[in-house]
Amino acid sequence: MGYEVIEKIRVQCDTLDNQLHQHQIPDVDFIKIDAQGHELAVLQGARKSLAKAIGLEVEVEFLQVYQNQPLFADIDQVVRGAGFDLFDLEKSYFKRKAQGYYGVRKGQVIYGIALYFVSPERLFERGSLTEGKVMNTVLAYAAYSYFDAAEVVIRLGREHRILSEHSARELEAILRRFRHRFRVPNFKGRQRVHRAFAKITRAFGGEGVNFSDMGVGNF
């Protein structure tokens, strides 16, 4: 798909679980993986880390960009099996060169960024959940603007007596600041304006990889 191998180099690798163990990092909250087609291998070597994490951002492909690489379905099966839900998917499209102009077509979806979280409800099914983990979950949700999920975590944290009232109120204050920071007026015709800008963006894309989405998260 537009690439040519000019050299192969062998490198020694290790699993994420083993590296975290060697560096005495017993717990992780969020994992981000971009390994140029080797994401599945990284995930398979991070099963202990996934069991403790509450969020994951990983590059995925829908067509083979790299030889014999796993695709989105393979990644999705492993991540869902570890207890995560897909929250968002940034998609990039490949537009083939054509003789004529046929409008603002996106092309074929080729790769993207998948955002996963442990759902608020499933989070509290985990054993030995600490107040720190609950607080970090709220902040991770807020960082991607999933304020609805963050509020559910705070409520469940109170109900399960994991969050102290002081911590819950601090988190609620943080969410209020986040909401004011990212708020856009909900004016009449807002969706039409959004679609118009999206079409204009795609119209400037030529052949090759044409980015259509604008990142992951509830923005």
Three-class DSSP labels, 54-107:
CEEEEEEECCCCCCCCCCHHHHHHHHHHCCCEEEEEEEEEEECCCCCCCCCCCC
Q: Are 122 and 83 in contact, with CB atoms under 8 Å apart?
A: yes
List alpha helices for the chain, DSSP H. Answer: 16-22, 39-44, 47-52, 72-81, 120-123, 131-143, 147-159, 165-182, 190-203
Sheet holding 30-33, edge to edge: 30-33, 55-61, 108-117, 85-95, 208-211
Q: What's the pLDDT at 107?
A: 81
Q: What's the pLDDT at 95?
A: 79
What's the chain's length in residues? 219
Q: What's the pLDDT at 186?
A: 60
The pLDDT of 117-122, averaged and rounded, is 96
The pLDDT of 104-130, averaged and rounded, is 90
Is residue 201 scored above 60 in pLDDT? no
Q: Are 63 and 1 in contact, with CB atoms under 8 Å apart?
A: yes
Within 13 Å of residue 126, how many CA atoms lie on the same side as its CB?
23
Calculate what percentage of the chain has a pLDDT beyond 90.
63
Residue 111: strand, helix, or coil: strand
Q: Are 24 and 17 in contact, with CB atoms under 8 Å apart?
A: no
Stated pTM of the model? 0.83
The pLDDT of 182-190, averaged and rounded, is 61
The pLDDT of 185-209, averaged and rounded, is 60
Q: What's the pLDDT at 219?
A: 73
- Phi first, then psi, for residue 109 (nearest 5°) are -65, 135
Is residue 179 scored above 90 in pLDDT? no
Categorize the per-residue pLDDT at 181 as very low, low, confident or very high, splitting at 50, 70 and 90.
Answer: low
Is residue 102 scored above 70 in pLDDT? no
Distance of alpha carbon 148 from alpha carbon 137, whole angstroms: 13
The pLDDT of 66-80, averaged and rounded, is 94
Q: What's the pLDDT at 76?
A: 98
Is residue 176 scored above 70 in pLDDT? yes
Is residue 91 scored above 80 in pLDDT? yes
For residue 114, the cross-strand partners are: 58, 89
- Which residues neighbour 33 within 8 Å (Cβ) at sequence distance 6 or greater? 39, 42, 43, 56, 57, 58, 59
Calculate what percentage of the chain has a pLDDT beyond 70.
80
The pLDDT of 169-177, averaged and rounded, is 95
Give the chain's mean pLDDT: 87
